[in-house]
Structure 1
């Protein structure tokens, strides 16, 4: 810097995306992924957390969703309205996000989320998705590809399964004949319920669930997507992944061969 030059100031684009502080932590720590890339023969699993739908944070979030749906807001930053304790209570978004059809930018900076529901696909106006620094969020539902206008994303890619920097493995998916329709164990199936096919939107009958992993370009990032399909035909209709990722739908586990890391 030369004499008389003024230092360049950089704005903090997330300054207004952080909720109030407090004595309690706003999220739990996650040690699922080894950033040293030492995964040979190791397995990873889904977060088993179940959402407490009686928790104050969950009930408050439902109120915020109703308000946003009613006033047709285009930017939705619900976590800034929640206390640290309330933010920590939210491990998934409510299916009610399907009502947010006017929202163009969904901001979930620093969340404690471990999963996002397939109903995000009903947010038809969504153009920007920002779950940045949500370090326990390792994957997204395939239904997010239904957000046809989604053009920008800000995701902590180092926290994602199969990311190009560390190539962590994907959780091993269950076989179709283990599925019985109804409630699901999130540690086994990735969700507490599977309500329909992510490809054709049809019903999933007992014993017919086909779960596969896909890495696809979504907005500005390649995201690991969990596909819940009703048939082999729906799996066969999936688009091709980009170069540099597993080239076919797969069932995860330590035996899946991924391309080498870029670092």
Structure 2
């Protein structure tokens, strides 16, 4: 090689230690429900409707790992590397106990099979770095994530999230108002199995809930956030959405007009 030839570039694999044991193809289900381009995006989408099996090995193992992390006060939490492929596949959400990890600064969920994250993630007030990269079934995040005010760095698979700027897949349609027992909901319709507190004011939600979507910058990405609000006043108190996205909080569905793609 002559002195004026370019030296080969070496790229560091940031997630080399984030993959757990066992065949990766068995640890998660593939998902194309939001498409991956303007040509393949669907006209309408719906939430993943699976309910978490809280008797499964994966769920029980995650509870053990949260207990360990809370006890030793660790600042990095990479639970999936300590779970088998079958256990990772069984986990479709995180336990609410994740909120106990108030000292964790770096949360890695690389390659998970998750379809939703509980609002209790907002209790992780020390969180600075959040990496759910290649979690292709995770299309949205709870609004409570905005309570992690130290969060400055994130890595998400952009094409997998609702309303992403690359091909603008639609958002699931939300009901304007839901009344009744809000602790037992159909996740296919509401994105959650139950709501206890308001995403905005953090007060008990009572027996009436309003849901809206809002796209906000969290860390280094713009994320589609689901708001479970106790009143119209809390919806009205939401911040201005990120530039280049739907300009107001909205109910989702195929009739919502999104800005043109930037890709």
TM-score by length of 2: 0.95
Residue of structure 2 in register with 1:122 after alignment: 123
Residue of structure 1 in register with 2:259 after alignment: 259
Residue of structure 2 in register with 1:240 after alignment: 240
Residue of structure 2 in register with 1:213 after alignment: 213
Residue of structure 2 in register with 1:143 after alignment: 144
Instruction: Classify 1:39/1:176 alpha carbon distance in 2 versus 1 (closer, same or farther; 3 Å).
Output: farther
Secondary structure (helix, strand or coil) at the match of 1:223 reads strand
Deviation at 1:36, TM superposition (A): 2.7
Structure 2 alignment gaps of length 5 or more? none
Deviation at 1:182, TM superposition (A): 2.4
**Correspondence list, 1:135-214, <5 A:** 135-206=136-207, 208-214=208-214
Residue of structure 2 in register with 1:94 after alignment: 95
Secondary structure (helix, strand or coil) at the match of 2:26 reads coil
Counting matched residue pairs gives 262
Residue of structure 2 in register with 1:27 after alignment: 28
Listed one character per residue, the Cα deviations across residues 145-202 of structure 1 (whole Å, up to 9, x for unaligned) are: 0001000000001100000001000000013145533211100110011111000011
CA distance, structure 2, for counterparts of residue 179 and residue 145 of structure 1: 27
Secondary structure (helix, strand or coil) at the match of 2:217 reads strand
Residue of structure 1 in register with 2:79 after alignment: 78
CA distance, structure 1, for counterparts of residue 77 and residue 195 of structure 2: 26
- Paired residues of 1:40 and 1:254 also in contact (CA < 8 A): no
Deviation at 1:243, TM superposition (A): 1.4
CA distance, structure 2, for counterparts of residue 24 and residue 248 of structure 1: 39
TM-align CA RMSD:
1.7
Secondary structure (helix, strand or coil) at the match of 1:234 reads helix
Instruction: Classify 1:97/1:249 alpha carbon distance in 2 versus 1 (closer, same or farther; 3 Å).
Output: same
CA distance, structure 1, for counterparts of residue 24 and residue 35 of structure 2: 29
2:2 is aligned with 1:15? no
Listed one character per residue, the Cα deviations across residues 200-219 of structure 1 (whole Å, up to 9, x for unaligned) are: 0111122x201000000001
Instruction: Classify 1:70/1:7 alpha carbon distance in 2 versus 1 (closer, same or farther; 3 Å).
Output: same
TM-score by length of 1: 0.95
Instruction: Classify 1:23/1:166 alpha carbon distance in 2 versus 1 (closer, same or farther; 3 Å).
Output: closer
Instruction: Classify 1:258/1:2 alpha carbon distance in 2 versus 1 (closer, same or farther; 3 Å).
Output: farther
- Paired residues of 1:33 and 1:159 also in contact (CA < 8 A): yes
CA distance, structure 2, for counterparts of residue 132 and residue 19 of structure 1: 14
Residue of structure 2 in register with 1:107 after alignment: 108
- Paired residues of 1:41 and 1:255 also in contact (CA < 8 A): no
- Paired residues of 2:132 and 2:155 also in contact (CA < 8 A): yes
Secondary structure (helix, strand or coil) at the match of 1:209 reads strand
CA distance, structure 2, for counterparts of residue 110 and residue 23 of structure 1: 9
Structure 1 alignment gaps of length 5 or more? none
Instruction: Classify 1:152/1:24 alpha carbon distance in 2 versus 1 (closer, same or farther; 3 Å).
Output: closer
